[in-house]
Each structure stands twice: as C-alpha cells, then as structure tokens.
Amino acid sequence: MRFYCSILVGALLAPLVNCQRSTPSGRPSLPQVYETTITIPLPNEGHLQVHDPNVVLWDNHYYLFKGGVHIPFFKAASMSGPWTPIGTVLGGDSIIHQGNRSRPWAPTTVERNGTFYCYYTLSTSGSRKSAIGVATSTALDGSPWTDHGALIRTGDGPGSEVWPFTVTNAIDASFIRDDETGTAYLNYGSFWHDIWQVALTDDWLSIESPAKPNATQLTFVPDETVRPEEGSWMSHHEGYYYLWFSHGTCCNFEKRGFPHRDQEYSIRVGRSRNVRGPFVDRAGTRLLDGGGTVVYASNHGLVYAPGGLGILPGNSSTPDLLYYHYLNTSIGFQDDQAQLGYNYLKYDQGWPVVLEGIVVQSSAAMMSRLPDMYMTFILGLWMAVLAAL
C-alpha cells in the first residue's frame, strides 16, 4: 500500500514542479563584461520579450504589463507562459503632453475592489521632463481604460515647480499601502535625487496636498555625480517593508558601450518596520547613505543587467516571487531583446534570498495540465502493477 501511495503522490506532484535552466547557445566574446559567478541562481524563463515588466495575479491567471506602445498587456496561466496578448491600457497616445506620449515606460498595475489602476511614465532618456500618469479599468479583458492624466510632473508642466518635484525625476512609479493605516503611497524616482515617496489621495488618482506634498526620500547615493538608482518596488513580509530598486546602468549598451563589471543593473534591497523608512541594508547601512543589499545580479556569463523588478506576494503554499527583465548574452543586448525572468524567494533572518529553479504553478495552469497528470498517474500505476507481478 505504501508503494502504491508513493506512485500516486509522485504522479500527482511531478507536473506541478518544473525546474528550468537556461543553456547558452553561444556567447559574445566580451569577457570583461560578464559576471561568471555561479553563486546566483539562473532565472526561471518567462518566455516573453519584455522591458520593465509588471505582473498582477488575478482570477488564477497572471497578467503582465510592459513598457511599450500604449502599454501592452498579456495573460497566462503560468509565469512561464505561454502569454496571450490581451490589448493595451491606453487606446491611443496619453492625454499628458509630456515625453513620449505613445510609448509609456514602466507600468505598475494594482487592484482595489474590482478596479485596476495602472500608473505609467512619460519621459525621454536622460531628461527630468517627465510625468507619471494613471489609467483605470474594471476589467482585464481588453476593454477600454480611462486615462486620468498626470499625478506628478517634473522638469516642466503644472506642479513641477513644487518641491520635491523641483529636484526629482517623475518616472518608475510603484505602489504600496501602509499595512496598519491603509494609506496609499506612490514610490518613484531615478538618478538625480534618486527614489522618493509621496502620499496618495483616498481615490488613488492624485497625490495628497499637491501644493505641499507629504514626501519623503527613500534612497540616495551621496558624494557621487551620477546616482544610478531607479525602478523601485516595495513589498511587505512579516512586519517589514522591503524597498527594492535597480542600481546601475540599464540600457542601450550597444550604443553607449558597456560599463565596468558590476556597474550594470543589479537588484538591491533594504528594509524598515515603517513604510516611510528609514531603510537599511543587511549590513546596517542606510539606503540614504548609498546602502543596498544585492539580491540578484549578472551571473553565469548568461544573465546580464537584471532589473525593472517587481514582487508577487506568496501565501501559505507559495513563496514570494521576484520577477524582472534581463539580457540573455546568447540572444543580444538591444533593449527590445530583454527577457522575462523570475525566481522564488526565501527569507534568511528576515532577508530575501533568491531560490534556485522551482516553479509553482497557478491552479489554472494545473487544471490545464490535468490530462497529462492523469496519464502520468495511469502509467505509474500500470508500471507498479507490472512490477508487482
């Protein structure tokens, strides 16, 4: 009986665990660029070309939003795909007359009471003339979204003369709620004065007190001319708020050239008991003093410049999930060649650590594979019967 139970358990669990590895098919000969460490796990492959991904788990499916023309988004039963195009958030160019209105960057979508809020960026590379807008919808089926316009402008336009918008860059918005008060905050920023946080109004469609924003600085690189921190994300786990961000050079490597090793994008983190900080890294250095613990970086000579990250919170049976874009050195270094990668997390003394390989599938993906599961079970049972004979 114990033997048959083992066959049954193995047959049922086998389709639910998928350990993936990337194998380089050929690597460009620029050895000074690549980190060859094997101490960092390879990514689970998302099988989607994407830059600055944002993933929402809704109704047992994953919805992925990415920077692109009018903000395209996709649907899948598993983080590994296949991904089905659903539509775009914007039906045309943004109503905000700033930056590249047709191709917003770095969307972040959150849900409240059946309404989805997509915060997006308009800017041009190397400029502080930027804006963060928001659009809403009550469905993720390709129905039209409502574009509500700008929450924040920097460098130019209404409100850009108000501190801290006079010194910051309004890109890369992310969202967090205070676990105790329910107050919503928008995190944003890039280079210049790095990453900041402002309080939102109760409807999440504008910032609180726009003439005198409730703002706080979250990260800073002192004593440096260039301060390469951006793409922030905030998560909550067992009493701590974790501030994640991308540090380093991200893009246009073939045009700008490659930075010295370890100066390309890497994913870093700090934590605080308070949603407003101050945040410190694992060594105790404040993020405002240039701190940040590296959680994921270039590795194996295959993964280069991972960043543009987000966190999907886990539950009692699924760990937290870190997702990001990265350049696969066997594919290329153009921005439009960036790939979706993800890894599950464990916490070592309260600090996130990337796990190797395991893919936990959603119930929708499990259901789609039930025929294969039953065939595996029947085959296993038949082999057991033959062995018993």
pLDDT tens column, 190-225: 999 999 999 999 999 999 999 999 999 999 999 888
pLDDT given for residue 26 in this prediction: 43
Could you give the CA distance from residue 65 to residue 105 in angstroms, rounded to a whole number? Answer: 10
What angle is formed at CA 38 by the lines to CA 268 and CA 360, rounded to 5 degrees? 70
CB atoms near residue 184 (< 10 Å): 19
Q: Which of 35, 230, 281, 320 does the annotation list as catalytic?
A: 230
pLDDT given for residue 266 in this prediction: 97
CATH class of the domain at 46-355: mainly beta
- Is the distance from CB of 100 to CB of 130 less than 8 angstroms? no
pLDDT given for residue 220 in this prediction: 97
- Is the distance from CB of 54 to CB of 64 less than 8 angstroms? yes
Distances from the Cα of 147 to the Cαs of 80, 95, 130, 135, in angstroms?
Answer: 30, 7, 17, 4
- Is the distance from CB of 117 to CB of 147 less than 8 angstroms? no
pLDDT given for residue 387 in this prediction: 53
Query: Which neighbouring-strand residues pair with 147?
Result: 135
Q: Is 336 a catalytic residue?
A: no
- Residues of the chain scoring pLDDT < 50: 1-29, 361-379, 382-383, 385-386
CA atoms within 13 A on the CB side of 200: 27
pTM of the model: 0.85
Q: Is 289 a catalytic residue?
A: no
Find the helix packing angle between 2-13 and 370-388, rounded to 10°.
Answer: 150
What angle is formed at CA 362 by the lines to CA 360 and CA 368, rounded to 5 degrees? 115
Q: Which of 35, 45, 52, 320 does the annotation list as catalytic?
A: 52
